[in-house]
Amino acid sequence: MTELIDRLQTGDTLSDGEWRFLIEGGYDRQQLFEKADEVRRQYYGKDVYIRGLIEISSFCNNDCYYCGIRKSNDKAERYRLTEEEILQCCGEGYRLGFRTFVLQGGEDAYYTTERVKNVVSAIKSKYPDCAVTLSLGERPRGDYEIWYQAGADRYLLRHETASRVHYEKLHPPYQRFAERMACLQALKEIGYQTGAGFMVGSPFQGTAELIADMRFLQAFLPQMVGIGPFIPHRDTPFAEYPAGSLERTLTMVALTRLMLPKALIPATTALGTIHPQGRELGLKAGANVVMPNLSPVSVRGQYSLYDNKICTGEEAAECVECLRRRVAAAGYEVVTDRGDAV
């Protein structure tokens, strides 16, 4: 195991059998997590970056089979925030120590090129010391360019799975794997700090698919990688599938840290949802970012991607305080910083 980890860190290509061993082998996981933590500390010390997540719209034109806000879910409650509401969230976030705001939403045509551009400009002129991250799905390259010009710094677009065949089992036919990949490529070329990522334990995912994810990350070299367990949502086609496992998710986080030592890797809300200490365990397995919710409490419950999501009742200030305590108890420290990749 230690020899494989050394090779992973030097950027070696591993064989299928070697990857399979790292992902599912019967070795001591604690040792893997400790090694990942050691690497994380080399670059980032015990700093944990916080990102203020603002869920700007629960309308979505996509129909991903796993997601609770998919357009075919008639039971989903829909809302969208106005520019003014978004700016209020940022104001509150700034006071609480956030220096990155993440605007995330479904693929919602209401958020036109212009509307997003205006809100990005407004945030950047009011908070020039802050980074703005967008997570608004697949858009024409021209939109990405205009928003980048307006000051957006980063973009999160999980690839979801690097296997085309698997991608087609998770999405309707008109959502194209090639288009997803083209968007990621465009974001990177434009100059965004780009985030990719995947769910662990999504339906039809086996070790081969996870190997494809790791090889994709190794080639694409994203600055950010979001990894969380799949969690079923009751009103989706995948309602009856089991959630991804804690151990498998932590393993993928740790392997990602070792392969991409400088990456920004969140301990995701989904991880905190499948286990009461999930986010803390994520940090101890190599994650170095947490993304507390800054959305107004009145809409929190409506941004329901999966069942039993945590932190839907808490005010932003409570969430941040809670996370500061949790992060400190785990042996790390939340810092007031934009938290760019080193």
Q: Which residues bind ligand 5AD (CB under 6 A)?
A: 66-67, 158, 160, 199, 228, 230-231, 233, 270, 305-306
> What's the rounded Cα separation, in Å, for the pair 59 and 61?
7
CA 322, 325, 331, 335 dihedral sign is: positive
Nearer CB in complex with ligand FES: 258/271: 271
Given ligand FES, ligand 5AD, none, residue 314, with its beta carbon under 5 to 8 Å by kind, binds ligand FES
Residue 317 found at the interface with ligand FES (CB under 6 A): no
Does 323 participate in binding ligand FES (rule CB under 6 A)? yes
Minimum Å distance from CB 314 to ligand FES? 4
Q: How far apart are CA 8 and CA 222, in angstroms?
A: 16
311 binds ligand FES per the rule CB under 6 A: yes
Q: Which stretch binds ligand FES (CB under 6 A): 3-11, 224-232, 249-257, 314-322?
A: 314-322
322 binds ligand FES (CB under 6 A): yes
Q: Cβ closer to ligand 5AD: 87 or 102?
A: 102
Distance CA 318, CA 242 (A): 31
Closest distance to ligand FES from the beta carbon of 242 (Å): 25
- Please tell me the distance from the alpha carbon of residue 282 to that of residue 118, in angstroms, as a whole number: 35
Chain positions 270 to 309 lying near ligand FES, rule: CB under 6 A, are 292
Nearer to ligand 5AD, 236 or 288 (CB): 236
290-to-13, 47, 266, 270 alpha-carbon distances in Å: 30, 11, 5, 11
Minimal CB distance residue for ligand FES: 322
Q: Which of 168, 307, 314, 340 binds ligand FES (CB under 6 A)?
A: 314
Least Å distance between CB 290 and ligand FES? 8
- Write the CB contacts of 300 (distance below 8 Å, at least 6 apart in sequence): 55, 293, 311, 312, 313
- By beta-carbon proximity to ligand FES, the closer residue of 180 and 309 is 309
Q: Is 327 in the site for ligand FES (CB under 6 A)?
A: no
Q: Is 96 in the site for ligand FES (CB under 6 A)?
A: no
Closer CB to ligand FES, 84 or 318, in the complex: 318
CA distance readout (Å), 9 to 224, 251, 255, 259, 283: 17, 15, 9, 5, 19
Name the one residue in this structure whose structure tokens are 């690497």: 39
Q: Distance (Å, rounded) from C-alpha 123 to C-alpha 126?
A: 5
- Summarize as ranges the residues that interact with ligand FES (CB under 6 A): 292, 311, 314, 318-319, 322-323
